[in-house]
Structure 1
Amino acid sequence: MTYQTRHHVTGWVGWVWFAAIMILMSGLFNVISGLYAIVNGDFYVATARRLLLFNLTGWGWVHLVLGILLVVVGATLLAGQTWARVVAVVLVMLNAVTQLIWIAVNPWWSLVVITVDLVVLYALTVHGREAKEVVEG
């Protein structure tokens, strides 16, 4: 005799879909900012002590590639692929780190993105199993 245990799926499962949509948006924003940085490679930042010149072309490519990967993973999360949760966690953590490095260029935007990344990580790690149960039925 085999026993099957079914976990009760709660309303919190919507957090995973929220995370997938936020990953899609974050990926699109990364693609846009990456393309902008590639096209406008020289960027000036005025600080209290001096004027800094950044060559953003390399970071533009990083953001572009990361953005494309985030869009793909976000779409696969919406499709219910379980493996995409693990990949999404890694990519979102990487995105937060790149935003931390990018903070000198665009501080407010980077802080907002890091905050959203933390909420997405929470949704994927805490409520991911419930989403798997909904997809598998």
Structure 2
Amino acid sequence: MTTTRQAQSTTTGAETMDNYGGTSGWTGWIVFAGVMMLMMGAFHVIQGLVALFQDTYYLVGQEGLVVQVDYTTWGWVHTILGAVVILAGVALLAGQMWARVIAIILAFGSALVNIAFLGAYPLWSLTMIAIDVLVIYAVTMHGSEMKPITASRTRATSDEE
């Protein structure tokens, strides 16, 4: 008799969890990744604007970079990458599947760009690479637990009827 009650309470708990969108406590990692992407995008934009407007700020000249390009090019790369990362971060917070895939690609690309920019400003680049690694971890390990907002609301509404 106790096993029947336990089975009923387990089923009821699963149904209740499903009514609330089926998300778990691990969705905090996805929120963390989304917020980190917003910050990472803002950092890229700032880094790009500094490279565009004050290229003497960096520790080495353009010949000291891993990839030999001028700071104006690096400025545009960082600014555009930052804007795309911000948009992907917003979509990730909304629970979009495509945003998880794009988040991993952008975080990997951001890490590569920062490795190439490592000679210009090492501490900043290492910080950005660490954020990139955390975003990749959060999205790959716990990304499937975040459902799109519209799908979970639609499912909860249909379950109530």
Instruction: Give the TM-score of the pair, scaled to structure 2.
Output: 0.71
Matched residue SS, 2:100: helix
Specify the alignment match of 2:112 in structure 1. 97
Matched, 1:124 2:132: no
Shift of 1:76: 1.0
Shift of 1:135: 6.4
Specify the alignment match of 1:49 in structure 2. none
Give per-residue Cα distances to partners, 1:81-134, cap 9 Å, x unaligned: 111110111011000000111110110111111111111101001101001277
Distance between the aligned counterparts of 1:56 and 1:80, measured in 2?
A: 35
Structure 1 residues 44 and 72, CA, compared in 2 at 3 Å: closer, same or farther?
closer
Distance between the aligned counterparts of 1:127 and 1:74, measured in 2?
A: 15
- The alignment of Structure 1 onto Structure 2 pairs a total of residues equal to 125
Structure 1 residues 23 and 44, CA, compared in 2 at 3 Å: closer, same or farther?
closer
The structure whose residues are more often strand, as a share, is 1
Q: Which residue, 2, 14, 18 being the options, matches 2:32?
A: 18
Matched, 1:29 2:43: yes
For structure 2, the 5+ residue unaligned runs are 1-17, 63-69, 153-161
Give per-residue Cα distances to partners, 1:35-57, cap 9 Å, x unaligned: 11011234563xxxxxx422311
Amino acid at match of 1:53: G
Matched residue SS, 1:11: coil
The structure whose residues are more often helix, as a share, is 2
CA RMSD of aligned residues (A): 1.9
* Aligned residues with identical type, % of pairs: 42
Distance between the aligned counterparts of 1:135 and 1:127, measured in 2?
A: 19
For structure 1, the 5+ residue unaligned runs are 1-5, 46-51
Check the 8 A contact 1:43/1:53 in 2, yes or no.
Answer: no
